[in-house]
Amino acid sequence: MGELTDKAKGIANEAAGNVKQAVGKATDNERLRAEGVAQERKGEAQNLKGSVKGALGDKV
């Protein structure tokens, strides 16, 4: 995957994770909130991977 693909997937996962966290908190569903935290972290990692690829010229 290229830099932009990784960044886009990362942003999407962060957004979905934030929504899951909000719904989990609103419904007092700790499992859904935890899934949201995990998905947000996954998105942050994907976004970072895209940034590293950009800095290294997609050689990662």
pLDDT in tens, 39-58: 999 999 999 999 999 898 85
At residue 60 the predicted structure's pLDDT band, cuts being 50, 70 and 90, is low
pLDDT tens digits for range 13-30: 999 999 999 999 999 999
pLDDT at 4 over 80: yes
pLDDT at 36 over 70: yes
A 10 A CB-CB count for 54 gives 15
Tell me how far apart the alpha carbons of residues 24 and 31 are, in angstroms, rounded to a whole number.
7
Tokens matching residue 27? 């419904």
The pTM for the full model equals 0.85
- Closest by CA to 43, choosing from 5, 7, 3, 2, is 7
A 10 A CB-CB count for 8 gives 15
Domain count, the chain: 1
List the domain range (segments joined by +) for residue 32: 3-56
